A and B are shown apart, each in its own frame.
Chain A
Amino acid sequence: MKTYDFAIVGGGLVGSAIAYGLAKAGHRVSLLDEGDVAYRASRGNFGLVWVQGKGLEIPCYSHWSMSSASLWPSLTDELLELTGVATQHQAPGGVHLCYSRKEMELRQADLASLVKATGGQFDFTMLDHQQLREMIPEIGESVTGASWSRWDGHANPLYLLRALHAGFLRCGGTFLPGSRVHRVHQSGGSFVIERDEERVHAARVVLAAGLGNRRLATQVGLHAPLIPNRGEILVTERMRPLLNLPTTYLRQTGEGSILMGDSHEDVGFDEGTETPVLSSIAQRAVRALPALANTRVVRTWGALRVMTPDGYPLYQASLTHPGAFVACCHSGVTLAAAHAKRLAPWIAGDTLPSEIAPFTAERFDVQTVTPA
């Protein structure tokens, strides 16, 4: 019977980044994934590597995001070298568009408080319409201005996932796609992960199954009160370059398509799209860049974000089942570098990165499950 050092449940961006980090460090790792069709937030992602505005309530989250943004260039370089797959990561800074003086003032105040809370590590600049136009010549007249931060950027989330999978395999990892995990339990000092076709044995297990963690976490004394939150995205035909930096809900991909999002809908597990929602996304995009009005939408999709009650990540080691971990968040792209390079070492036994100390389930004001 083969026992892995680690079994990672979930082959999305969170699980793959952790699995890659562990495999690269020389551990024997298996990565368990579902089949072709599953709730895959990683395949419906917008692709921002984003810092500005994050962590207003918990500044640790801003530090964690900045740490990841800083590690991104080295992640993308090593993945390219290892796998030949380019993540298309670029960090030209990003803008959040504002449509009124009032909005500008509120934005400025929010971000200023974030600068203070991070001890000056985060920084930003407010741009007036003219300054913004120098960056984005096609910007609409109704855009008052924007906040710009050098910390922001974007990447192709699909190529990131592909590169993480390829890198994981290149580092000797075992990828086990095919079906959903039904049950995780401890037996004789190691974990047994059960699914349709097999049982996988591992000394330690990381639950990175997105919304599936709700079900699995309780089996190893953890708690993951996650809620699906739908985001719909539209993508246009390929265009010549016209938008050279990302905005919060509009970006141009390496292939030239314009991607636009992002709705926040509480619709349970419905991954569909709704015409009025798509339309309002389209209207907002045209307001930002009026010249887009006659570009064609070629695809749309809905995807389910993995949301905790407060929107911040959840990272936790089980007290009752030592060796079991849960990891989930909805910023799998931004945090990919931190997950591979800082979270994975913690799971392997290093000290906990201080920024993520607050991100345990206790903050949701419920008791973690105690063993029977």
Chain B
Amino acid sequence: MTTHDLVILGSGPAGMAAAATAVTHGIKPVVVDEQPAPGGQIYRSIESTPVKERRILGEDYWQGKALIDGLGDPRIDYRPGTTLWQLTRRLEVGLLRGEQASMIRARHVILAHGAMERPFPIPGWTLPGVMTAGSGQILLKSAGLAPSAPVVLAGCGPLLLLLAVQYLRAGIPIAALLDTTSTGHYRDALRLLPGALRSAGTLFKGVGLLAELRRAGVRHVRHVTALEAQGDERLERIRWQCGDGAEWHYLSTPLLLLHQGVVPNTQVTRALDCTHDWDERQLAWHPRTDPWLATDVEGVAVAGDAGGIVGAKASAIQGRLAGLGAAMALGRAGEEQTRKEVKRLRRDLARETAIRPFLDVLYRPAAHWRLPEDDTLVCRCEEVTAGELRRMADQGCRGPNQTKSFTRCGMGPCQGRMCGLTVSELLADANGQSVAETGYYRLRPPFKPITLGQLATAAEDASR
């Protein structure tokens, strides 16, 4: 088993920035990424996208080029198409590349594997034809694919608006934008506006997106309070309700793209048994970190959205901080030497993240979007409904691990990624306890499935 000073998981903004910073301190990091090319989801396919007309994806996208160029440094051992299946508290790193499994050892690890979209459990969300806004954007960036018929976008959050505008710029018609932002949240968010003005650039871009949608005359339905996807073998139509109205509105569509924000992907930090806290403002779990972004597992730091949603620019800043933290932990940099840079990074980070409270409050999904009705599937893999989970709570199940045992909720191939947040919140609600008390799934490797044969090879590696 070879030993490396630094292993970075993920080549999004945080991972790329961490690698570039580490290199300047004489570290040769290994950067592992599941995707075939660097950029993470935000800068995905930047080198190969068929969408060359810059205004379609927007300048924020193309800004990622500088970070990606940095990853080309020969001192960085960048390994695309490589999946992390195991990471132990002794910093043994299990990798899968193609059919080949291997183990390496790290002295320091930076987890920069980013976010995932918050589950959006509505009736019919498992029908083919219902996808996420993130997937729509990935298809656009990576393959130049766009909806072939007028598309319905539903939910809330910056990504949803951005995708709508990117489709408009590419000449793709939007049948409707169903906005689930709660009425009261505009007022609540307004109070946070002064703070948000510190990241005025981001704020104005958001306002610009809304104006662009308005100018294009997109059917923007506000205050949507209920939404269902319907169809037999695939999505055929959707229906929704607005405000307090009991009236259902119907629309035929072959494609519904859902989005209600992004949340940290905590699969790896959970499996490491890092301490996690429930963030009531972001409605998500965060691994607990210190000012150097170090977790409470020795030698493991978390940078970027994997540690709490901060956005692409702040993720890159966190990546630099974590890279400096690694350099100091490995004895390649001293506190004196980095003090000035750290001070500047922290100031930049504060500025970039100043808008988060505003966004978190404005786009906070209302309770009924997070706590579905009894008939709705929560666990897509094992097909467990909200009602069944509530019945389990009635029988004394206090948390997700007991319901997992009793109903298989969270035991399927996605290993609870798609249901975990919903289950924690739903059981907290049903039991009248806090989400923090309710807890989350206890996770174990493999993070991604590995064949018995590959597992056998990995151990040979580990014993060498």
Contact = CB atoms under 8 A, between A and B. Distances in A.
Interface of A: 33, 35-37, 43, 158-159, 161-162, 165-166, 169, 175, 177-178, 234, 236-237, 255, 272-273, 275-276, 278-280, 282-283, 285-286, 292-302
B462 A175 contact: no
A166 B395 contact: yes
B92 interface: yes
B81 interface: no
Contacts of B94: 275
**9 A-B pairs with least C-beta separation:** A36-B399, A279-B459, A296-B449, A293-B453, A162-B406, A175-B396, A282-B452, A282-B455, A158-B405
B190 to A, nearest CB: 39
Nearest to B461: A275
Given A37-B401, A161-B406, A298-B446, A276 B462 contact: yes
19 contacts: A35-B439, A36-B398, A36-B438, A37-B442, A162-B406, A169-B396, A255-B408, A272-B88, A275-B462, A276-B462, A278-B455, A280-B459, A282-B456, A285-B452, A294-B451, A295-B451, A297-B450, A300-B444, A300-B446
A100 B425 CA distance: 54
B138 to A, nearest CB: 24
Contacts of B462: 275-276, 279
A306 to B, nearest CB: 18
A283 B456 contact: yes
B318 interface: no
A298 B405 contact: no
A165 B197 CA distance: 55
B413 interface: yes
B80 interface: no
A296 B415 CA distance: 13
A2 B432 CA distance: 24
Given A177-B398, A275-B458, A298 B453 contact: no
Contacts of A298: 413, 415, 446, 449
A178 B398 contact: yes
Contacts of B452: 234, 236, 282, 285-286, 292-297
Nearest to B455: A282
A118 to B, nearest CB: 34
B395 A300 contact: no
A171 B401 CA distance: 25
Interface of B is mostly: mixed
Interface centre among B92, B413, B452, B463 (most CB of A within 10 A): B452
A196 to B, nearest CB: 12
A178 B442 CA distance: 17
A231 B342 CA distance: 46
B162 to A, nearest CB: 34
Contact of B459 (A234, A276, A295): A276
B147 interface: no
Contacts of B86: 275
A166 B399 CA distance: 17
Contacts of A161: 405-406
B451 A36 contact: no
A282 B401 CA distance: 25
Contacts of A37: 399, 401, 439, 442
Interface string B422-452: 0000000000000001110010111001111
A255 B408 CA distance: 10
Nearest to A280: B459
Contacts of A297: 446, 449-452, 455
Contact of A279 (B406, B449, B458): B458
Contacts of A273: 444-445
Contacts of A293: 451-453
Contacts of B455: 234, 275, 278-279, 282, 297
B451 A296 contact: yes
Nearest to A158: B405
Interface centre among B88, B94, B398 (most CB of A within 10 A): B398
Nearest to A258: B452
A35 B462 CA distance: 36
Contacts of A234: 452, 455
Nearest to B103: A275
A297 B400 CA distance: 22
Interface string B305-334: 000000000000000000000000000000
Contacts of A296: 449-452
B405 A276 contact: no
A169 B451 contact: no
Interface centre among A36, A272, A295, A302 (most CB of B within 10 A): A36
A159 B455 CA distance: 29
Contacts of B449: 237, 296-298
B175 interface: no
B159 interface: no
Given A36-B400, A158-B405, A296-B450, 20 more contacts: A35-B437, A36-B398, A36-B438, A43-B405, A158-B406, A165-B396, A166-B395, A175-B395, A175-B396, A177-B396, A177-B397, A272-B444, A275-B455, A275-B459, A276-B463, A282-B456, A283-B459, A293-B451, A298-B413, A300-B446
